[in-house]
Structure 1
Amino acid sequence: MKFLHAADIHLDSPLSGLHARADLPADIIAHCTRRAFSAMVDLALAEDVAFVVIAGDLYDGNWKDFSTGLFFAAEMQRLDRPCFLLRGNHDARSVITRSLRAPTNVREFSSRTCETIQLPELGVALHGHSFPNRAVPEDLSAGYRDAVPGMLNIGVLHTSAEDPGEHETYAPCQVESLRLKGYDYWALGHIHARRILSERPWIVFPGNLQGRHARESGPKGCSLVTVEDGQVVAVEHRSVDVLRWAMLDVDAEGADVAMLTERIAQATAAAVAAADDRPLLARLSLAGATALHGRLVGDTDQLAAECRAAAIEAGGALWVEAVRVRTRPLRVAADDALLPLRAAFDAGLDDEDLARGVLADMQAIREKLPAVAQADLDLPTDAGALGALATDAWEIVAAAIAAADPRT
């Protein structure tokens, strides 16, 4: 027997940060979460699974219209086998106000208490508790029922578990407490990166089905679980994403133009090779001290084009979502003539009122941006970071002055 464990599907959730991009083909970015869900159903049919478990956040929030629910109903009809659905923080009972009658093969876990659903013909008992509200600060697993003797017991839970803070905290629990329940498999949801917290018993976050922004990079999909003689014998990740995100981290330390171009090409080729023939959205990040610093800051379009050209050469399809230039200029020798100017520059940094004002202005800029953009904004938040940024700024100014024609 096999079953499929998925979570964090976020149907009809858009890809982040791409609204103003005219160079992205519509068929590449349109309906990614729907297409990934359809691919998951294709996998379930191809593997002839006995049932599917969705451990929360099937939806991304309240439906904009009924097409989201109608799509899910059509896919469930195509699945034509049981699907056990648990609500998470994004699709809690209090969040989703529109509704359609559930397809006949879909069983939703109660949001009032832990519910146990037994499948005697398969020798399986599933235990789950849907979120009644978006905010669930308590450990729901504490109320899960005892394992049913003689059955394969599966706990379905939407939780941040012992996450150190990368994700919002919902229904937190301890791995050891889950082990003590005596279940054979814990089907978890909420953490978008695939994680196996334990193999005895299996405690698994499958990750989300489709990456939606640059921080959700790498293969995305679900877990295919194989059971023999009432025991879980294999848990395999199966990728069903239709578009993949990649982080291209390139070291520009000491590089000239030819060296940097080659390093970008190598990083791009590696990402294309790992993409399993999927189109790629990539974020290019450059770091290190280089004489090219000023040029790189002002020519991100050139860098993006180099990535695309390298991807074409590698036989892949890649678009650059963003370029992050975190290089720094090479230190230039001190010029006695510039020492008074440098002293005035440093004196400005020593003015606490001025520094506080600059940081406040930067915080105001940050607060005007969406949460996803805020996380990627590389602006200083304290005096130390502001000083480091100012030092880089001085090096750029000094380098420009040194390179200027003395006759001008």
Structure 2
Amino acid sequence: MMFRFIHTGDIHLDSPLRGLAGQQGAAADRIRTATRTAFANLVDYAIEEAVNFFIIAGDLYDGDWRDYQTGLFFVAQMGRLAKAGIPVFLLYGNHDAESQITKRLTLPENVRAFSSRKPETFEIEDLRVALHGQSFRQRDITDNLVLAYPAPIEGAFNIGVLHTGLGGMPGHANYAPCSLDDLVNKGYDYWALAHVHQGTVLHQDPYVVFCGNLQGRHMRETGAKSASVVTVEDGQVVDIAPVEADVVRWVHVPVPVDEINSFSEVIDRLARAIEESAGNAGGRLIACRIELTGRTALHDQLLSSHAQLDVEARAAALALGDEAAWIERVVISTEPEVGAPANDAANAPDDFAAILGEASNDPAFLAQLEAELGELVRKLPHDIRADTDSGELSAALNGEYPALVSEASRYLKARLAAEGA
């Protein structure tokens, strides 16, 4: 007997993608709807390929809905799967735990949600498949749920569905902690895991698999994102393949500017790098963070022209078409050439240079900055505050005032040097 199923999770429907505050246009609109489109693409694939069933291993949602539209969208997609005769097995994770989602809608009959009270087993008798899982009741689950999962059903292909930090994976809260040995020794044939956003196969025989998130949402989630389609023959997993349903790829684009002697050459190289990255995305929109690197005589000019570089990057992206590339931000990580002669303007007046150098370590100055800038930051609208994960605004939001002063000092010194060149 042969069957196939979809293993997905960490969909985060309608999650607010970062970096979009105040952005308009087709690319920004596409990014805003990316989580929905990616999920619809995965449903398309499941129907076209006539898979036998569909597993969602947690974090379908991103927290409580703003309104019922998020739930209605999901119900509509489940209705499409119901029409195609594809059952869905849904487990709620930390972002969509019962305590996190206050709004609920009745789901189509093809959707079976795992209980949050204790582990529950669903069987697909004609395929001889048993699925075991437990949803989260609240966000912060610190118990090892695996210990209470039932023994495997003899003669069935047993699948464990679990949302877990697996003992503390880098960058992820350690919810529902367990060990790899706990999973391997349970006697199941496949573990469908979610919570860790990087897809990976942790073990074979039995297979222990994190599907990864379906759509990248910010610069910490770069590269291709996907679900898994699993093929089973005669009770054995014979293939696990990615289903790349994502519609936006977050990309870090390094642009080395060593040995470049003119600002216009930098712009040309930046534009070529964006075009090359867009060409490698399979027709998807790329959301780019551009980083200029290397030692260059233009270091001071680049720092002092940050705003212009940002606009030039956006122009280069738009020149590729409405939905080829979008610029999240431009980062300047260049350094002066070794042995470059000092520019008097960069050090004049001497007392100003000394103030800049010492400001980040001056408690009185930092306290004054926190009092004045902190009050301004606290008055920012919520969507602006939630829409950044790096840069100067992030430093201000997080109270990292020494880092903020150091960055401002770096810019001011470069501006003085550029103007005095």
Q: Normalising to structure 1: TM-score of the pair?
A: 0.86
Choose the corresponding residue for 1:94, options 89, 96, 99: 99
> Would you say the 8 A contact 1:288–1:327 is kept in 2?
yes
Q: Find out whether 1:345 has 2:360 as its counterpart.
A: no
Deviations 1:93-112 (A, max 9, x none): 11112112221000000101
Instruction: Within 5 Å, give how 1:19-34 maps onto structure 2.
Output: 19-25=21-27, 28-34=30-36
Partner in structure 2 of residue 166 of structure 1: 171
Aligned-partner SS, 1:289: coil
Instruction: Within 5 Å, give how 1:2-401 maps onto structure 2.
Output: 2-25=4-27, 28-80=30-82, 81-256=86-261, 257=263, 259-297=265-303, 298-306=305-313, 308-309=315-316, 312=319, 317-330=324-337, 332-334=340-342, 341-342=349-350, 345-346=353-354, 349=357, 354=362, 357-358=365-366, 361=369, 364=374, 370=385, 373-377=388-392, 379=395, 389=407, 392=410, 396=414, 399-400=417-418
Aligned-partner SS, 2:155: coil
Shift of 1:26: 6.3
> Would you say the 8 A contact 1:158–1:190 is kept in 2?
yes
Partner in structure 2 of residue 406 of structure 1: none
Mean CA deviation greater in 319-328 or 151-160? 319-328
> Would you say the 8 A contact 1:286–1:326 is kept in 2?
yes
Mean CA deviation greater in 342-351 or 259-268? 342-351
> Would you say the 8 A contact 1:40–1:240 is kept in 2?
yes
Number of residue equivalences: 403
Shift of 1:69: 1.9
> Would you say the 8 A contact 1:246–1:281 is kept in 2?
yes
Q: In 1, distance between residues paired with 2:186 and 2:292?
A: 47
Shift of 1:339: 7.5
Q: In 1, distance between residues paired with 2:368 and 2:157?
A: 57
Q: In 1, distance between residues paired with 2:400 and 2:17?
A: 31
Shift of 1:305: 3.3
Aligned-partner SS, 1:45: helix
Q: In 1, distance between residues paired with 2:246 and 2:42?
A: 9
Q: In 2, distance between residues paired with 1:151 and 1:249?
A: 50
> Would you say the 8 A contact 2:297–2:340 is kept in 1?
no
Change in Cα spacing, 1:310 to 1:64, as seen in structure 2 (3 Å) is closer
Deviations 1:72-93 (A, max 9, x none): 2221121121100000111101
Tell me the percent identity.
Answer: 40
Mean CA deviation greater in 261-270 or 127-136? 261-270
Mean CA deviation greater in 290-299 or 273-282? 290-299
Change in Cα spacing, 1:359 to 1:326, as seen in structure 2 (3 Å) is farther
> Would you say the 8 A contact 1:223–1:237 is kept in 2?
yes
> Would you say the 8 A contact 2:253–2:289 is kept in 1?
yes
Shift of 1:383: 10
Aligned-partner SS, 1:196: strand
What is the aligned-residue RMSD (CA, Å)? 3.3
> Would you say the 8 A contact 1:308–1:319 is kept in 2?
no
Change in Cα spacing, 1:193 to 1:311, as seen in structure 2 (3 Å) is farther
Q: In 2, distance between residues paired with 1:350 and 1:19?
A: 34
Change in Cα spacing, 1:333 to 1:266, as seen in structure 2 (3 Å) is same
Shift of 1:374: 4.2
Aligned AA for 1:68? T
Structure 1 residue runs without a partner (length 5+): 404-408
Q: In 2, distance between residues paired with 1:390 and 1:308?
A: 26
Change in Cα spacing, 1:384 to 1:198, as seen in structure 2 (3 Å) is farther
Deviations 1:235-291 (A, max 9, x none): 111111122222212223343335433432443233212211112222212233323
Shift of 1:219: 1.6
